[in-house]
Copies of this chain bind each other. A is one copy, B any other.
Amino acid sequence: MKEDNGQSIELHKAQSLVLNACSDLSYERVSLAESLGRFSANALIASAPLPGYDQSLRDGYAIGRAGSAETQASLHSFQIVDEVAAGDTRKLVLQAGQAIRIMTGGLLPAHCAAVVPQESCSVVGEILIAPLSQKKSFIHAKGSELARGQVVVPKGALISPEHMILLAGVGCGTVQVARKPRVSFFCTGSELVSSADEKRAGKKFSANNPLLQGLITRAGAEFKNQQTVVDDPGAVTETILKMTQEGCDILISTGGMGPGKFDLIEETFCRAGGKVLYRSIHLRPGKSTLFGTLGSTLFFGMPGPPPAVYLLFNELIRPAILKLQGAKQRRPRKQRVFLAEELFFPKRGLPRLKGGLLSLKEGKCLVRPAKRMEAANCYIYCPASRRQMRTGEMVTVHLLE
């Protein structure tokens, strides 16, 4: 089914079409350790208070109400009557004038007024000499971190180390998360070879195969399958059908997207039953890119040049990988920063995204274009109307994460 929707569309509109086509994946249960960096399927609630019992924050002495006054008015003496190690579950009780030796994390005896850290007191035989008052009680009170029923992780939130600490503390051993989206891809081009034996003038090694496999894994998706396919409609159609039947949530192709005679992705995708949602975006590089659906599979037809593939992966495919997992933040984050070096383009007419390097200098955030072998950490946005961006002006960057 072929739907002609005319001209190029804007990048943000393309992103919306992609995100709207994503439906939630099924869930899986993973250990808390494995949940780091995944997206919670549900709001996660504290099933118990944290801490679960009143406990000591220091190695020292739990003291009851003060006993007899000492010669120095600010000090009191206490009779040491017992000892609580961490892990001791006995429910002890302090009488006035008594102290119990206690370890960090130890269960506080009933009627405990405070814990005196061992470095703040002295012991003579079974007698503790401790200050009458201290600013802190060194008691970690039950429920002071989390109340039972409190939301620890909202639905769709990225699980962080901070979440893990709280979740583990209330005994949450496993977490339900969206499963990782399965992504397959194929690279078209009769010029592509994979071994040095086949390499000669006119043939080239495909950079998109290792690049996409690496990007898919780094984006938190599951790399499922990949293939190189010659520029033949029959072979491409067969690959599309085979890879969707194997079961992938996202299918990507590279190459075969230009206006030339051998450009074949749209034709074969439609012949395989795909529905095209856009076929070009108002962007350089990466103009020739299509998106559509084939059953429940999202299909991204990307151009051949690897830098465009890298850019479009970040702007369109990574957001889909995040949305499929129920993530709240999907599109690349945008920031306004200062341009540290002039940018100049041969012509206007299309918005551009140019790899950039962000840095901080005395609290000011600067960006400059990345050199060819440098790892960009953002893209600098240049509006269609501009051929030149001046040093010192504010520009919008899209973060690469």
Do the beta carbons of A169 and B337 come within 8 Å of each other? no
A100 and B158 CA atoms in complex are apart in Å by 54
Can you list 22 A-B pairs with a CB-CB distance of less than 8 A?
Answer: A35-B214, A59-B259, A59-B263, A60-B260, A86-B231, A87-B189, A87-B191, A88-B202, A89-B203, A90-B202, A91-B201, A107-B201, A135-B346, A164-B207, A165-B207, A169-B204, A169-B207, A335-B360, A336-B363, A337-B363, A363-B394, A364-B364
- Check A211 for interface membership: any CB of B closer than 8 A: yes
Q: Smallest distance from the beta carbon of A212 to chain B beta carbons, Å?
A: 8
Residue A215 interfacial (CB < 8 Å): yes
Q: Which residue of B lies closest to A375 (CB)?
A: B160
Q: Is A15 an interface residue (CB 8 A)?
A: no
Q: Which of B59, B214, B335 is within 8 Å of A33, CB to CB?
A: B214
A105 within 8 A of B: yes
Known: A210-B168, A259-B59, A375-B160. A201 touches B363 (CB 8 A): no
> Size of chain A's interface in residues, with CB distance under 8 A?
99
Mark A70-81 against chain B: 1 for CB-CB distance below 8 A, else 0: 000000000000
A138 at the interface (CB under 8 A from B): no
Whether A262 pairs with B37 at a CB distance below 8 angstroms is no
- Say yes or no: is A376 at the interface (Cβ < 8 Å to chain B): yes
Q: Report B-chain residues with C-beta under 8 Å of the C-beta of A381.
A: none
Within 80-123 of A, Cβ neighbours of B (below 8 Å) are at: 85-91, 101, 103-107, 118-119
Q: Is the CB of B362 within 8 A of A336?
A: yes
**A59 x B89 contact (CB < 8 A):** no
Q: Is the CB of A190 within 8 A of B363?
A: no
Query: Are B59 and A190 touching (Cβ within 8 A)?
Result: no
Query: Is A199 a contact of B52 with CB atoms below 8 Å?
Result: yes
In the complex, besides A31-B210, A32-B214, A33-B210, 7 extra interface pairs with C-beta distance below 8 angstroms are A87-B230, A87-B231, A162-B376, A164-B214, A168-B210, A168-B211, A171-B205
Q: Which residue of B lies closest to A53 (CB)?
A: B201
- Nearest CB to that of A153 among chain B residues? B373
Compute how far the CA of A152 lies from the CA of B373 in the bound complex, rounded to whole angstroms: 7
List of B residues within 8 angstroms of A214 by Cβ: 32-36, 161, 164
Question: Is A310 interfacial (CB-CB < 8 Å)?
Answer: yes
| A contact face: mostly helix, strand, loop, or mixed | loop
Q: Is the CB of A373 within 8 A of B189?
A: no
Give A34's nearest chain B residue, CB to CB: B214
A200 at interface by CB-CB < 8 Å? yes
Whether the Cβ atoms of B304 and A204 lie closer than 8 Å is no
In the complex, A35→B51 CA distance in Å? 43
**A residues 254-306 in Cβ contact with B at 8 Å:** 258-263, 304, 306
Does A9 make an interface contact (CB < 8 A)?
no
